[in-house]
Amino acid sequence: MLIVGSVLIFTQTSFLIITEMLRATEKIYRYFADKLLLKLKEGIGMYDDLQFPLEVLKGKHRPVILLYLCHKGTSHFSQLQQALGLSGKVLAEQLRHLEMHGMLMRISHPHSPAVGYSVTELGLSFLPVLEAILAWGQTRSINARFPPPEHA
């Protein structure tokens, strides 16, 4: 690299040196990025620990269905449909998802086409989380409608 006046002139050697420095920097970055991902996935387990509850909460009807069944107990499909105002297709899809994740149990009656749904122990253990989210949401919606006075 030569400096002539105020112009910087790169020689082929200086260009190679800079290129190697950039490659080394990229390798260092990749190394630490990989270490961080590994730490998040294996060491702390935060990534996996967040996936299950977020998967359960995905979709606007699932938390409502779970809250309803936690508070009302076992309910038939038609009762849920009427109480929540959901179409049969949407409700069936949401119930299947919650059942697949072990949050609900489907109860079939041998001599009747009626099907009931009940919350499992896993679903009940999720109730404090749902209630905390509900309380936080209620606080936020009240603050959105009636913002606290600004301090001068």
Are residue 20 and residue 82 in the same domain, yes or no? no
Are residue 66 and residue 136 in the same domain, yes or no? yes
Longest Cα pair distance anywhere in the chain, in angstroms? 97
Measure Cα distances from 123 to 21, 55, 114, 127 in Å: 54, 13, 22, 7
**pLDDT tens string 105-135:** 999 878 878 889 999 999 999 999 888 888 8
Res 1 pLDDT > 50: no
pTM score: 0.61
Are residue 21 and residue 79 in the same domain, yes or no? no
Are residue 8 and residue 74 in the same domain, yes or no? no
Res 103 pLDDT > 90: yes
Q: Which domain holds residue 28?
A: 2-44
CA 57 to chain CA mean position, Å? 7
Phi, psi of 4 (to 5 degrees): -115, 110
- Amino acid 2 reads L
| Residue 150 located in a structural domain | no
Q: How confident is the model at residue 58 (pLDDT cuts 50, 70, 90)?
A: confident
| Residue 93 located in a structural domain | yes
Please state, in angstroms and rounded to a whole number, the distance separating the CA atoms of residues 138 and 140.
5
Query: Based on the structure, what is the number of domains in the chain?
Result: 2
| Residue 49 located in a structural domain | no
Instruction: Spell out the residues 6+ positions from residue 99 whose beta carbon is closer than 8 angstroms to its own.
Output: 105, 106, 117
How confident is the model over 7-27, as a mean pLDDT? 57
